[in-house]
């Protein structure tokens, strides 16, 4: 099979490239090597096409003969300031739209899209007495007072988190989240208008060897690692009780390979999303503690600080991916995070 892989030199893309190449697929590698994702290290090789996805209409024959596009290229992270909005809109929104238009022009009709759990906003919640709830964004006054939980609108009791299925409400709450949902919407429109087929993979917290270090655009696990390597205690926001699902990059790559095989068999005008998760929720403080204990570094510090736009709990249901893709994560978070404590990271951003 011939697969065009955008973001092929990135943290996740490089793992997908390795798995596809090992099984004998022909991989067309495309990456713009943006510094937010790559830092000082470029990971370029002779087979890499250093081009920008926003310029896909001018790629020439890169899409010719391609069976499936696996679209990993994106500006990632929660966004450092609102000044990052044009970067997200450009790389993610415009980049995806330009790629889809170029695919249509070249007759490529199958796509696997890297999406994210951030499209859900807050996860799924319930009150023991009043059932399912859809909490609004947490107020700054409550966060300033150290009240980090979502509360029932009727009795004010703290809500309990539940697993989030793919048909949950979509409610992006950051610039990155808005751009990832836009990617999904463009892809759905492309599938319907062009009679094509696509799979969207909503990654949960991806970690593993090769994460970029010392960058605010990286994942929280790498940020904790970078602090520990510098001899500093990991800084844990809120009270550390935020529940997340951490999924190893090797499992994420395998979910992509399964999706690449599956998408070509889907009917025309097909668009299906899947959570890509370990299925084992972990509190953020536990992640920091495991990394600190395994590396022998200083214990985490719970700061009580918060970031506007952050959500309290978001934990995935892995059932659809298991039933329809045959994907079940092989690496449990406790073991994978412990291994990650000494795994190699990418070079620092300069």
- Whether the per-residue pLDDT at 37 is higher than 70: the answer is no
pLDDT (0 to 100) of residue 290: 97
- Whether the per-residue pLDDT at 348 is higher than 80: the answer is no
Please compute the mean of the pLDDT values over residues 313-327 and round it to a whole number: 97
Which among 144, 121, 143, 147 has a CA at the least distance from the CA of 134? 121
pLDDT (0 to 100) of residue 148: 97
Please compute the mean of the pLDDT values over residues 45-71 and round it to a whole number: 93
- Token readout for 152 is 């029932």
Which among 123, 147, 118 has a CA at the least distance from the CA of 134? 123
Question: How many contiguous H segments (helices) and E segments (strands) does the chain have?
Answer: 11, 16
pLDDT (0 to 100) of residue 88: 92
Number of CB atoms found within 10 A of residue 303's CB: 14
Under 8 Å between Cβ of 187 and 100: yes
Please compute the mean of the pLDDT values over residues 138-152 and round it to a whole number: 96
Q: At what angle do helices 220-229 and 333-340 cross, to 10 degrees?
A: 40
- Whether the per-residue pLDDT at 79 is higher than 60: the answer is no
The span from the first CA to the last CA of the chain, in angstroms, equals 38
Instruction: Work out the pLDDT band at 39, boundaries 50, 70, 90.
Output: low
Question: How many Å apart are CA 205 and CA 316, to the nearest integer?
Answer: 10
- Whether the per-residue pLDDT at 36 is higher than 70: the answer is no
The number of residues in the chain equals: 350
- Whether the per-residue pLDDT at 300 is higher than 90: the answer is yes
Please compute the mean of the pLDDT values over residues 294-321 and round it to a whole number: 95
Please compute the mean of the pLDDT values over residues 157-180 and round it to a whole number: 94
Instruction: Work out the pLDDT band at 80, boundaries 50, 70, 90.
Output: low
Dihedral sign, CA of 161, 316, 14, 84?
negative
- Whether the per-residue pLDDT at 78 is higher than 80: the answer is no
pLDDT (0 to 100) of residue 272: 98
- Token readout for 327 is 């994907």
pLDDT (0 to 100) of residue 28: 98
pLDDT (0 to 100) of residue 218: 72
- Whether the per-residue pLDDT at 95 is higher than 50: the answer is yes
Share of the chain above pLDDT 90, in %: 85
Question: How many Å apart are CA 258 and CA 254, to the nearest integer?
Answer: 6
pLDDT for 198-244, tens place per residue? 999 999 999 999 998 866 667 899 999 999 999 999 999 999 999 99
Under the phi-then-psi rule, with left for phi > 0, alpha for psi from -120 to 50, and beta for the rest, what region is 54? alpha
Instruction: Work out the pLDDT band at 60, boundaries 50, 70, 90.
Output: confident
pLDDT (0 to 100) of residue 77: 72
- Whether the per-residue pLDDT at 350 is higher than 50: the answer is no
Eight-state DSSP code of residue 325: I
- Whether the per-residue pLDDT at 349 is higher than 50: the answer is no
């Amino acid at each position: 099979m011939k697969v065009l892989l955008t973001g092929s030199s990135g943290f996740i893309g490089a793992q997908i490239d390795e798995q596809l190449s090992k099984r004998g697929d022909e991989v067309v590698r495309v990456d713009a090597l943006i510094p937010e994702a790559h830092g000082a290290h470029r990971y370029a090789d002779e087979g890499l096409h250093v081009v920008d996805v926003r310029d896909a209409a001018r790629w020439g024959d890169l899409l010719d003969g391609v069976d499936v596009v696996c679209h990993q290229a994106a500006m990632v992270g929660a966004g450092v300031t609102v000044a990052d909005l044009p970067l997200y809109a450009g790389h993610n929104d415009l980049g995806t739209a330009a790629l889809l238009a170029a695919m249509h022009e070249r007759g490529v009709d199958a796509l696997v899209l890297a999406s994210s759990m951030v499209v859900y906003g807050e996860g799924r919640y319930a009150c023991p007495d009043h059932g399912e709830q859809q909490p609004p964004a947490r107020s700054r006054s409550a966060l300033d007072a150290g009240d980090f939980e979502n509360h029932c609108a009727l009795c004010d009791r703290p809500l309990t988190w539940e697993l989030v299925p793919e048909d949950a409400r979509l409610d992006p709450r950051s610039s990155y989240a808005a751009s990832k949902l836009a990617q999904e919407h463009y892809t759905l429109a492309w599938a319907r208008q062009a009679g094509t087929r696509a799979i969207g993979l909503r990654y949960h917290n991806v970690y593993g060897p090769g994460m970029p270090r010392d960058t605010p655009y990286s994942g929280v696990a790498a940020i904790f690692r970078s602090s520990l390597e510098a001899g500093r205690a990991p800084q844990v926001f809120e009270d550390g009780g935020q529940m997340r699902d951490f999924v190893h990059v090797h499992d994420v790559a395998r979910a992509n390979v399964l999706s690449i095989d599956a998408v070509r068999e889907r009917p025309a005008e097909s668009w299906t999303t899947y959570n890509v998760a370990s299925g084992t929720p972990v509190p953020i403080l536990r992640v920091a503690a495991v990394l600190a204990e395994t590396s022998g570094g200083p214990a985490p510090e719970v700061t009580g600080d918060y970031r506007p736009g952050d959500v309290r709990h978001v934990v995935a249901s892995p059932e659809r991916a298991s039933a329809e893709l045959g994907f079940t994560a092989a690496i449990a978070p406790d073991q994978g995070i412990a291994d990650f404590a000494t795994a190699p990271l990418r070079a620092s951003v300069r």
